[in-house]
Every structure is written in C-alpha cells, then in structure tokens.
Structure 1
Amino acid sequence: MRDLDDNDLAYYLATGIGDIVRGTRAGGLLHGRSLARVANEVAQCWTDEVLSVHRPDDGTLSEGVSDDRSRLDKSRVWIIDVVDGTKEFSTGRADWSVHVALVVDGQPTLGSVGLPDGRRVFRSDVVDHVEGPRSGNMVISRNNPPAGVTAVADSLGLTVRPMGSAGAKMLSVLLGDADVYLHAGGQNEWDQAAPVAVALASGLHASRLDGTPIRFNKPDTYSPDILVCRPDMTEQVLAAAASMQP
C-alpha cells in the first residue's frame, strides 16, 4: 500500500509518535524509567504497525528494536528514534525530539523532526533555516559534552550552550538560536538521520567533523561525530574542529 507520499508519511509518523509519547505522561501516573520504558514501547509498536501497513517492503532501523540486519539488503530504509533525549523527556524537560528519516541507498533523502512539547514538526520538504545576525552560540550535548569543545568554541568566539536531544540541537541552529551544533564521542544512526535530512534540506551544512558526508544504513550503526552549522561558517568551523580529530 503506497497511498501516502513519503514526505507526508514521515510527517504523520513524527506527529503521531509525539502525540503518543506525550500521552504517556497523562495524569502524572508514571515517572522516570517507567515512563520512558512505556513511552518508547507504545510509540514503537504503533510505528512498526504503520510502516508494516504503508511501507511493507522497506527496511527499518530503530533504537528500540533489535536489528536483524535485513535492512542491509534494502535500498529504502526508515531510520527512527521515537524518543531522542529519553532523560530529558522522562524528567519533564522540553528538549527531546522525535526522529523519522527515509534513507535511500545510504543517503538521508527526507525526514521529519518533531518537538512534541512545542507542538512543532519540521519536515524536510517544506523547511528553510533562519538567516540574519549570528547568535554567537554553539550547542553541545548536555549529558556527554565532547572533549576539547570549549577550545573550539573559544577559537570561534562562540558561547557553549548544553542542550538535550540531537534533534533539538539541530533545530536550534535551523531556528537561528545557535550557529553551530557539534558533537564528538559517538552517536547512532537514529540520533542523526532525521536531523541531517532536515538540516541539509533547509540549507544548513551537515557533515562529519572532517567534512565528509554522513552515510546511513551501514552494518555498524555507530557514528563517531556530527557537525551542523550555518553555511557561511562551514569552512571556519571545520578548520577549528580539526583540532578534535584523533
């Protein structure tokens, strides 16, 4: 069944996941790890069923599902994280996100990134980054700040701002609240696929710290680093980030 355009499907998935995950907070009946576990399980179950109905021939890769590697034989693979920033979500913070991406032959073809607590979903087919004066900020991981990032920020004249999920950090650059999102020390493909798809579609720069494109649907889902920044700062930031390379 292919009654939905891929962009629409990604958007409806991200919107539905966000609604489901937020709903698990109802009444304050669950907290902490119990809340996070139920939110992930319920949202993932719904997502798997939707994809089985609408894209039964596509591959999938999700944080909450065992990887049987059958995706490696597929050209089209949906890469999903129903709650990116579980710690933020389960402790009541708003800087968590929902990631839905379609990767075709290793390329992040399209995606949607939701900020459910802000009631917003950003889709790659209708998105643009905010231009104008620089914010002077660099966003980094709140829970796993990369080594050496303070020196990089200082060399660029930027102020470091810790935030939660990868999607929230990328969107802060897209919205003009930050100029650079930089991470080193490792993530997984589901952390990066949707944010990279939306960032590239919006006109932002998105790559590895050495400037090479980020590829997806690899046998090993580990991805060592990521850079998303304003396009007019790309060369400057890549030069500064070179000091973080092993």
Structure 2
Amino acid sequence: MTIKPTSEDRDDLALLETAAREAGAIALGYFKADPQVWTKGNSSPVTEADLAVDKYLHKTLMARRPDYGWLSEESEDDKSRLQKDRIFVIDPIDGTRAFIDAGTEWTISLAVVERGRPVAAALFAPVRDEMYCAHLNGGATLNGETLVCPDRKKLQGARAAGPGSAIRKGPLARAGVECHDYIRSLAYRIVMITTGALDLALAREHANDWDLAAADLIVEEAKGQLRDKNGSHLLYNQPQTRHASLYAANAHLGELVQPMMARLSFPVRR
C-alpha cells in the first residue's frame, strides 16, 4: 500500500524551505567578511554567523510551531524535546570550517523529526544556490527538480568522500573505490549521492542528529540510503544525539559497503 504524504509534512517543509533561504541570506552577510570565531569545548569552531543564524531560526520556527521541540548544534540541549511529538533538528551552519575558509560547500540544515525519524527537510547551500528538499513519502528535489539516486551497481571506479584513511586503505581501496576531495559539510557530502556527484559518502562515529537528519530524509526520498555501520536506520531525538560510523549510497552499493564497515580505518576525532 502506498502511503500518501500528509499536509502537515508539506506545511512543515514549506516553513523549513523559507526559513533556510532567509538563514542563508543572514549567513552570507558574514561570509568572507572576517567574522568573529571562537572554539567550542570539543575543539570545533563556531562563528558569529552560526549564532546569528541559530537565533533567527529559533525565533522564526518556534513562533510558527510553539508546540514543537528544539535541538540545534548552537543551542543548549533542552531535554524536554524528548516528550515532544515533533521537534526541529537544526544545524545553523554545517561545515563551519568551510565557511571560515571561504569554501562553497557549507549548508543550512533543517529538519522536522517525528517518532525518531525525519518527516520534512530542507538543506540549503547558499553560495552554490542549491536547495535540497524532501518530505516523507513525497520524494526529494533539488531546486524544484526531482532527485533519484543513480543506479550504480559496482564499487570499481565509484567516487567516495569521507575520512581518507577509510577510503584509501583496506577493503574499499581493494574494491577499486576512488577517493574524492574531502567535503567539509557532512550533510552536503551525504546528499551529493543523490545527484551522482558522489557514489558513496562516509562518516566516522560521533556525528550528531543535526549533522544528519535533513540529509537522511533527502537521501531516503531519493531512493538511496543512509545507514549506520550495522546497516540500521538512524534514530533521532534520543537522549544521546551521537551516532555510530555510517555510510550513504544507493541500495546496490549499500549492500556491498555495509559488510565492509567494521573493517574500515576511521581516524579518531580529536
């Protein structure tokens, strides 16, 4: 039986898309303008642009959906989210290092999660003017055009992005997988498989909900898959927001890669 998309999911997607575009405009106001930068406790950078976008999104989205929960990389985690039917999962700027270095692949990542899974998602790359959108059972689009993951069936010659040691050594290298340039926005790295710019995206353990939720839905609705090292769907809005190492690919390549995950050499994050 085909499950039809709901009007609630469509409405949430429209809200996310509009907010993502406005957030992108705010971020571009700081881009290449020497924004103030701080280092967080996990040694990752945060800029005044991250904080300005986070503030805008919280004010805008929660005003429209006051009964939703909130989880953002740049906000203190309010555990009341665990009692909410729906929550916003937000990364104000995914790929902050790229943003600081004037790279083009940073994104605004917005999702609505219900019962542990994303139901609406907008991922916007402002410099590239690329808007990826999806809602549950409604398909995925890039700038309004339908996305379907290319149907590649062989790892030989497949292009992969992620930690280089996981690609250049071990089973992926022996299978003929080629290492693409590193993509500093994890969310963007993942959705690149929907256009064929990548065939495989990898991430080490400890990626968080906000890195993944929007990209997850976009990939799934484009007939691809984002899975953890055990081949399982990711669950969001749990007490712990971090995830195991993971991969994104079309279904054929996913079946080939999943058995290799335990043997890949992922560098330890410091």
Aligned residue for 2:244, secondary structure, equals strand
Q: Return the alpha-carbon distance in structure 1 between the equivalents of residues 62 and 243 of structure 2.
A: 27
Task: Quote how far apart the aligned CAs of 1:52 are.
Answer: 2.1
Contact 2:73 2:91 in 1 (8 A): yes
Could you tell me which runs of 5 or more consecutive residues in structure 2 were left unpaired when the two chains were aligned: 1-7, 39-44, 142-146
Deviation by residue 1:40-87 (Cα, 9 ceiling, x = unmatched): 111111101112211000001000000121101101011000100100
Q: Return the alpha-carbon distance in structure 1 between the equivalents of residues 239 and 183 of structure 2.
A: 29
Say which of 154, 158, 166 aligns to 1:136. Answer: 158
Task: Quote how far apart the aligned CAs of 1:197 are.
Answer: 1.2
Task: Quote how far apart the aligned CAs of 1:227 are.
Answer: 1.2
State yes or no: 1:87 paired with 2:87: no
Say which of 202, 212, 215 aligns to 2:232. Answer: 212
Q: CA RMSD in A?
A: 2.4
1:203 corresponds in structure 2 to: 223
Cα pair distance change 1:233/1:29, threshold 3 Å: closer
2:196 corresponds in structure 1 to: 176
Query: So what's the TM-score if we normalise by structure 2?
Result: 0.81
Say which of 15, 23, 30 aligns to 2:34. Answer: 30
Contact 1:79 1:103 in 2 (8 A): yes
Contact 1:85 1:164 in 2 (8 A): yes
1:150 corresponds in structure 2 to: 169
Task: Quote how far apart the aligned CAs of 1:114 are.
Answer: 1.0
1:58 corresponds in structure 2 to: 68
Identity of matched residues, %? 22
Could you tell me which runs of 5 or more consecutive residues in structure 1 were left unpaired when the two chains were aligned: none
Instruction: Show the 5 A alignment for 1:108-147.
Output: 108-125=118-135, 126-127=140-141, 128-131=147-150, 136-141=158-163
Q: Return the alpha-carbon distance in structure 2 between the equivalents of residues 60 and 74 of structure 1.
A: 9
Query: So what's the TM-score if we normalise by structure 1?
Result: 0.89
Cα pair distance change 1:32/1:91, threshold 3 Å: farther
More helix by share: 1
